[in-house]
C-alpha cells in the first residue's frame, strides 16, 4: 500500500501479508487516515464520506494518491485512486495501469467498515443506514455501484425537470424508464444481499447477537415480493412497466414536493435484536455496536462461502468498545474467516492476544514515521 500527500501522511509505503493488521499509537497519529485511504479503493466517498479536496495534505494541498496491490484469486491486481487539485478535484482511477471508472473498483476489491460514527447508525436518520445497506449489497454484487450511479444520474435529472414550469412529458418518459430499470436492479440486489446475510447469521455459532433485518420503504411495498432467485440484470417486464407507470402517476405529487418521493433512494434498513425482540434503536449502545459487528461478520462469512474470500474489514476503534470476552470472540472470528482486518486502537494491549497472528503498524508519540513490527 502507498499513500502520497494523503491527510497527515506525506508518504506511507508498506507491504502486508494476509494476516490482520493492528494499528496503534496516540490520538491524531493518522490511524483512521490509513483506514480511510483503503476505503477509497472501493466505489464511493470512503469511510468519512469526505470531499476530495478535504483529503489533500495541508498546507501543500496539491492533491493525493492512494495505491494498493491486491493478491486475489485472479492474481495480483493494482488499484490506484488519485486527485490532482490543480486539474480540478476529479478522482482518477487506475486499474492495473489503465484508466477505469470508480464503479469498476467494486469488482476488484470488496471492503466493509465500521467506524465510531456508526455507533449512532440505528438512532439517526435513514441515510446512514441506507449507505450501510448499499455497502453490504456492493460487497455481494459489484454491479450495484454502476446501477446506483445510473439511478442517481436519472434521479437528479428528473428532480431538475420537476422544478421546470412545463416540461415536455416525453422527457419524463425516458428518464422514468431509466429509473425503473436501475431502481428495480437496486431493489433486487439489496434484497438478495439481505437474504444472504440473514442466512449467514442463522448458521453461525457466535457471541455476537443475531438480528432480524428488513428493508423498509414505499417502493418496497410495491415490489417487495419478487422471487429472490430472479435475474438481477433483467427485471421482469411487467415490474418495469408497473414502476414506470407509478412514476408517471406520481409526477404531480413529486412536482408539488419538488423532488422524487418514490424509489430506492428513500429506503431504510430496519433491525430487530432477535434475543430480546427489541428494535435496534431501543437497544443499549453496546448492544447496537455488537449488532453492527455481527452484520459485518455475517456478510464476511457469507462472502467467504460464496466466493472463497472474505472482504477486507476496516474496523476503526472497534476493539476498545468491546469487553474482554467479545474482543476475543471478534479476533477468533476474524482468524477463522482469514479476513485481512485493519483494526485501530490507542495502545498495544488491545491486540496482545493476537500475538504473531497479526501484523502491526506502530505510530510513535509525534505521530511521525510509523514502524512496522511483526511480533508484539
Site residues (vs Mg ion, CB under 5 A): 32
Q: 12 — phi, psi (to 5°)?
A: -135, 120
Number of residues that bind ligand ATP (CB under 6 A): 14
Q: Does residue number 49 form part of the binding site for ligand ATP (CB under 6 A)?
A: no
Q: Does residue number 315 form part of the binding site for ligand ATP (CB under 6 A)?
A: no
Q: Does residue number 359 form part of the binding site for ligand ATP (CB under 6 A)?
A: no
| Residue closer to ligand ATP, measured from CB, 235 or 345 | 345
| Residue closer to ligand ATP, measured from CB, 286 or 347 | 347
**Strand partners of residue 360:** 22, 373
Query: Residue 346 burial by CB count (10 A; 0-12/13-18/19+): exposed, middle or buried?
Result: middle
Q: Does residue number 299 form part of the binding site for ligand ATP (CB under 6 A)?
A: no
Q: How far is the CB of 316 from Mg ion (least distance, A)?
A: 6
| Residue closer to ligand ATP, measured from CB, 254 or 316 | 316
**Strand partners of residue 23:** 344, 361
- Kindly state the DSSP code that residue 52 receives in the 8-state scheme: T
| Residue closer to Mg ion, measured from CB, 32 or 136 | 32
| Residue closer to Mg ion, measured from CB, 31 or 144 | 31
Q: Does residue number 8 form part of the binding site for ligand ATP (CB under 6 A)?
A: yes
Q: Does residue number 29 form part of the binding site for ligand ATP (CB under 6 A)?
A: yes
Helices (H), the chain: 31-39, 102-105, 126-140, 144-162, 169-202, 218-223, 237-249, 251-257, 285-307, 324-337
Strand, coil or helix: 193: helix
Q: How far is the CB of 342 from Mg ion (least distance, A)?
A: 12
Q: Does residue number 58 form part of the binding site for ligand ATP (CB under 6 A)?
A: yes
The verdict on whether omega for the bond into residue 59 sits within 30 degrees of 0, i.e. cis, is yes
Q: How far is the CB of 51 from Mg ion (least distance, A)?
A: 19
The single residue among 32, 82, 298, 299 that binds ligand ATP, judged by CB under 6 A, is 32
Radius of gyration of the chain measured on its C-alpha atoms:
22
**Strand partners of residue 93:** 81, 100
Q: Give the interface with ligand ATP as residue ranges (CB under 6 A).
A: 7-8, 27-33, 55-58, 346
Amino acid at each position: 500500500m502507498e499513500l502520497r500527500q494523503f491527510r497527515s501522511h506525506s508518504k506511507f509505503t508498506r507491504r502486508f501479508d494476509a494476516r490482520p493488521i493492528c494499528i496503534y499509537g496516540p490520538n491524531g497519529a493518522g490511524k483512521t487516515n490509513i483506514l480511510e485511504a483503503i476505503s477509497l479503493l472501493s466505489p464511493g466517498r470512503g469511510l468519512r464520506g469526505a470531499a476530495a479536496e478535504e483529503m489533500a495534505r495541508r498546507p501543500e494541498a496539491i492533491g493525493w494518491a492512494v495505491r494498493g496491490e491486491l493478491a486475489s484469486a485472479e492474481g495480483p491486481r493494482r488499484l490506484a485512486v488519485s486527485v490532482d487539485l490543480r486539474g480540478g478535484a476529479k478522482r482518477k482511477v487506475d486499474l492495473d495501469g489503465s484508466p477505469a471508472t470508480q464503479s469498476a473498483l467494486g469488482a476488484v476489491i470488496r471492503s466493509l467498515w465500521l467506524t465510531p460514527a456508526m455507533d449512532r447508525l440505528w438512532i439517526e436518520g435513514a441515510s446512514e443506514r441506507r449507505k450501510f445497506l448499499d455497502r453490504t449489497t456492493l460487497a455481494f454484487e459489484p454491479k450495484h455501484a454502476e446501477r446506483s450511479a445510473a439511478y442517481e444520474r436519472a434521479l437528479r435529472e428528473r428532480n431538475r425537470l420537476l422544478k421546470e414550469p412545463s416540461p415536455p412529458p416525453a422527457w419524463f418518459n425516458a428518464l422514468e424508464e431509466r429509473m425503473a430499470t436501475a431502481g428495480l436492479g437496486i431493489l433486487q440486489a439489496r434484497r438478495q444481499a439481505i437474504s444472504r446475510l440473514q442466512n449467514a447469521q442463522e448458521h453461525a455459532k457466535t457471541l455476537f447477537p443475531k438480528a432480524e433485518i428488513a428493508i423498509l420503504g414505499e417502493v418496497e411495498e410495491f415490489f417487495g415480493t419478487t422471487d429472490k432467485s430472479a435475474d438481477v440484470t433483467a427485471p421482469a417486464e411487467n415490474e418495469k412497466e408497473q414502476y414506470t407507470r407509478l412514476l408517471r402517476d406520481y409526477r404531480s405529487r413529486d412536482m408539488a414536493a419538488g423532488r422524487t418521493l418514490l424509489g430506492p433512494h428513500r429506503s431504510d434498513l430496519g433491525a430487530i435484536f432477535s434475543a430480546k425482540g427489541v428494535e435496534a434503536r431501543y437497544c443499549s449502545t453496546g448492544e447496537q455496536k455488537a449488532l453492527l459487528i455481527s452484520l459485518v461478520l455475517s456478510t464476511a462469512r457469507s462472502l467467504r462461502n460464496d466466493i472463497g474470500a472474505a472482504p477486507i474489514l476496516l474496523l476503526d476503534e472497534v476493539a476498545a468498545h468491546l469487553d474482554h470476552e467479545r474482543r476475543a470472540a471478534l479476533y477468533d472470528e476474524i482468524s477463522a474467516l482469514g479476513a485481512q482486518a485493519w483494526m485501530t486502537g490507542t495502545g498495544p494491549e488491545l491486540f496482545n492476544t493476537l500475538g504473531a497472528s497479526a501484523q502491526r503498524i506502530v505510530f510513535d508519540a509525534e505521530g511521525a514515521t510509523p514502524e512496522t513490527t511483526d511480533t508484539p
